[in-house]
Amino acid sequence: MITVDLGSRSYPIQIRAGALDDYDFYRQHIPGKQILVITNETVAPLYLERVLAAAGDDRKVSSVVLPDGEQFKTLADLEAIFETALREGHNRTTTFLALGGGVVGDMAGFAAASYQRGVSFLQIPTTLLAQVDSSVGGKTGVNHPLGKNMIGAFHQPRAVLIDTDVLQTLPAREYAAGLAEVIKYGLICDRDFYHWLQHNREALIDKEPNALKLAIERSCEAKARVVAADEREAGVRAILNLGHTFAHAIESAKGYGRWLHGEAVAAGMVLAVRLSIRRGMLADDCLPVLLSWLEGVGLPTEPPKDIPTNLWLELMGRDKKVLDGRLRLVLLREIGEAFVTSDVESSDLAEFLGEFAA
Amino acid sequence: MITVDLGSRSYPIQIRAGALDDYDFYRQHIPGKQILVITNETVAPLYLERVLAAAGDDRKVSSVVLPDGEQFKTLADLEAIFETALREGHNRTTTFLALGGGVVGDMAGFAAASYQRGVSFLQIPTTLLAQVDSSVGGKTGVNHPLGKNMIGAFHQPRAVLIDTDVLQTLPAREYAAGLAEVIKYGLICDRDFYHWLQHNREALIDKEPNALKLAIERSCEAKARVVAADEREAGVRAILNLGHTFAHAIESAKGYGRWLHGEAVAAGMVLAVRLSIRRGMLADDCLPVLLSWLEGVGLPTEPPKDIPTNLWLELMGRDKKVLDGRLRLVLLREIGEAFVTSDVESSDLAEFLGEFAA
């Protein structure tokens, strides 16, 4: 059991095969007599009944099935959650359960933060990306046509329940997208893990249970450490966004949902590594090692060629890390050591990005 | 200067004539280089330019003018705020200024809580009701068709600036609605203030500056005390809702905006006092004193006659204070001493409310 150490808001992350049916876990972490399971139309047929059976117990149970996709992660789409919660009489003691990927977790978490000014929630992530990243750390929210995750709240779950078995049904493309966030932890803060990942690529591609569990644990430990040090991203937490400023621009330029988030992050991390090398901070030979791993698991290693440089800069300029007009980027000093910098001039960035245009 | 004592989130309430132009106040309490003033179409022509001039200084300044009215306090109507903030490049260091009544304050506060997962905000309330109640304490949010203030956040302002002069332009009906919340403080926790209000009714009706300032100060002190003791309404803060469970049902049954909130609270407080007397807790002669004061300032003392008893119960059952199916009501033990109870049976409540139907 991993703990995210946040004082009175600390919470456990339980990771194991078959955890979805863990009656005791639900009994321990659901405080009241009402639950609202929030899921989507892809996950509901696979797992909703099992969760309702295990978590429902003697509680009043409701569920909301959202449409599946990043394009439905909007303020307007939250309405379905509030509507069900109110119509079915959920009060301040209710607990929302997020059963799904990152979109479901972000929406359910923000709904929990806002419903009657805040109710409890549990994360039950069903994609690799959500398991190793978005379900841990309390960032919740929805997208705006003018920027990703621009409306939201910091609202920590009471617990995170990760069933490694559910990854067996995850489509290959989504699984690969999750691996992008896994290797990110190696790059930013865990050099040994990065090497382990190099040696265990095939085991991960084959979803070998022990390798999977270790990769998820190590990722969650890294995330828990960084979040505990800086819950609201006043400083070090920003390193979790390696590649993300580029990724958000890619997602925004191509339309949410066309590139999976993890795919955009993979391409974004390559850009961050290239830029780190170009600025003389990182050894040249880091690049082929990373490229080979990403290609091996089926992830893109280049951004789309049709984003004009001025659009890149405009979209990156909307990033939440921008402070007083200065873009802040996460770069690498070496493998396992990321840092945040405002030292990259727009003109340099424009020249760098221009090299990737068709 | 009154302080709302909430540890690291403590903040001052400044109350004085002409405070709107207080350049130093803005300089002291706005941390960054960007401000977004959120106001409405009624207040903007009166005060927006003055606030922009005093608060703008060397900052980047934007403003959003919302339509005026409780019916526009919805999730969808928040969009105008997010749209402007994003389009004009506001980042995490921006400060939102709420310039208006309770609706503007609640919406701007929730927008500040949610924009990029939380930015600073200042309250500059321009109605009596907002000055003595909604601008202090950090409750923010919007209505849902199924219930008032059901979507929101606790998000404390960095400061509250109250200019008593602005009340001179406040329409009589809205001014009276604010006086309902003023006398509420006397009823729930300040018996001396209640008596002072009895003796100074005419001075308040005439908006005599010294009487006004004292009434607002005393109200804000009471609210600050209660909020400091129980920020998130786990207990004693609920007494601030004297009359409000009835009031929310009235507003919901009649359609938001038909009854002003303060008017519904006035009628709701009379119901709470009647119920307290009926249950043998409060002396009979408290009622005529309260009725006479409320009638004197032009407030309703009876609920609408066309709410059927079952609708009363259904609407009151949606109150955020309902816990595990038990309605919790605020009643009075004596003048100046309110308490929360779950002891009122639905059948008793139905019989009591039935007496007010036509």
Active site residue: B117, B199, B305, B355, which one? Answer: B117
pLDDT at B258: 87
Q: What is the pTM of this model?
A: 0.92
Residue A324: per-residue pLDDT: 62
Q: Nearest residue on chain B to A234, judged by CA atoms?
A: B92
* Residue range A28-42: mean pLDDT, rounded: 96
CB contact under 8 A, A76 and B78: no
Question: Which residues of chain A neighbour B110 with C-beta distances below 8 Å?
Answer: 114
Residue bearing the bigger pLDDT, A112 or A321: A112
B67's tokens: 């339509």
In chain B, pLDDT over 90 holds for what percent of residues? 89
Report, as residue numbers or ranges, the catalytic residues of A. 117, 139, 181, 223, 233, 237, 241, 244, 248, 261
Q: What pLDDT sits at residue B222?
A: 97
Asked whether residue B324 carries a pLDDT value surpassing 70, the answer given is no
- Report the alpha-carbon angle B167-B172-B176, nearest 5: 85
Q: Is residue A162 within a helix (H) or strand (E), and if so which, with residue range?
A: strand A159-162
Q: Are B320 and A92 in contact (CB < 8 Å)?
A: yes
CB distance A323–B93 less than 8 Å? yes
Q: How far is CA A282 from the centre of its chain?
A: 26
* Residue to test with chain B: of A58, A95, A115, A117, most B Cβ within 10 A: A117
Q: Give B26-52 pLDDT, tens digit per residue.
A: 999 999 999 999 999 999 999 999 999
Told to judge if B241 belongs to the known catalytic residues of this protein, a careful annotator would answer yes
Confidence of residue A326 (pLDDT cuts 50, 70, 90): confident
Please give the structure tokens belonging to residue A203.
């085991």
Active site residue B251: no
Per-residue pLDDT tens digits for B60-92: 999 999 999 888 999 999 999 999 999 999 999
> CA dist B278 to A106, A276, B30, B240, B294, Å?
49, 76, 50, 21, 20
pLDDT above 90 (res A321): no
Catalytic residue (one of B29, B90, B148, B181): B181
Q: How confident is the model at residue A146 (pLDDT cuts 50, 70, 90)?
A: confident
- Tell me how crowded residue A213 is: count the other CB atoms within 10 A of its CB: 15
The answer to whether the Cβ–Cβ distance between B93 and A317 falls below 8 Å is: no
- The token pair at B249 is 């049902």
CA distance B32 to chain A (A): 9
In three-state secondary structure terms, A150 is strand
Contacts of A151 in chain B (CB under 8 A): 82, 114-115
CB–CB contact A93 B141 (8 Å): no
- Put simply, the answer to whether B153 touches A117 (Cβ < 8 Å) is yes
* Residue B189 C-alpha, separation from nearest chain A C-alpha, in angstroms: 25
Number of Cβ within a 10 Å radius of residue A141: 23
- Which pLDDT band holds residue B300 (cuts at 50, 70, 90)? very high
Distance, CA of B126 to CA of B10 (rounded, Å): 22
Give the distance from CA A224 to its chain's centroid: 13
Q: A-chain residues within 8 Å CB-CB of B79?
A: 75
pLDDT of residue B323: 66
Report the pLDDT value the prediction gives residue A318, as an integer from 0 to 100.
Answer: 78
- Cβ B174 vs Cβ B260: under 8 Å: yes
DSSP state letter for B80: H
The answer to whether ipTM exceeds 0.85 is: yes
pLDDT recorded at residue A325: 67
- Taking only the tens place, the pLDDT of each residue in A94-136 is 999 999 999 999 999 999 999 999 999 999 999 999 999 999 9
A210-243 pLDDT, tens digit each:
999 999 999 999 999 999 999 998 889 999 999 9
Region of B158 on the Ramachandran plot (φ > 0 left; ψ -120 to 50 alpha; else beta):
alpha
pLDDT attached to residue A350:
94
Give the CA radius of gyration of chain B: 20
Separation of alpha carbons A203 and A334, rounded Å = 26
Between B317 and A84, residue with greater pLDDT:
A84
A277 versus A252: the higher-pLDDT residue is A277
Mean pLDDT of chain B, nearest integer: 95
What is the residue-wise DSSP string for A175-228?
HHHHHHHHHHHHHHH-HHHHHHHHHTHHHHHTT-HHHHHHHHHHHHHHHHHHHH
Residue A64 three-state SS: strand
Residues in contact with A259: Cβ distance below 8 Å, sequence separation at least 6, in sequence order: A250, A251, A267, A300, A304
What chain A residue is nearest to B316 in terms of C-alpha separation?
Answer: A89
| CB within 8 Å of B353: residues ≥ 6 apart | B271, B307, B309, B312, B313
Q: What was the pLDDT predicted at A255?
A: 78
Residue type at position B233: E
B248 is catalytic: yes
Say if the Cβ atoms of B150 and A115 lie within 8 Å. yes
Report angle CA A169, A170, A173 to the nearest 5 degrees: 145
Is residue B294 within 8 A of residue B180, CB to CB? The reply is: yes
Q: Is the dihedral of CA A18, A24, A29, A33 positive or negative?
A: positive
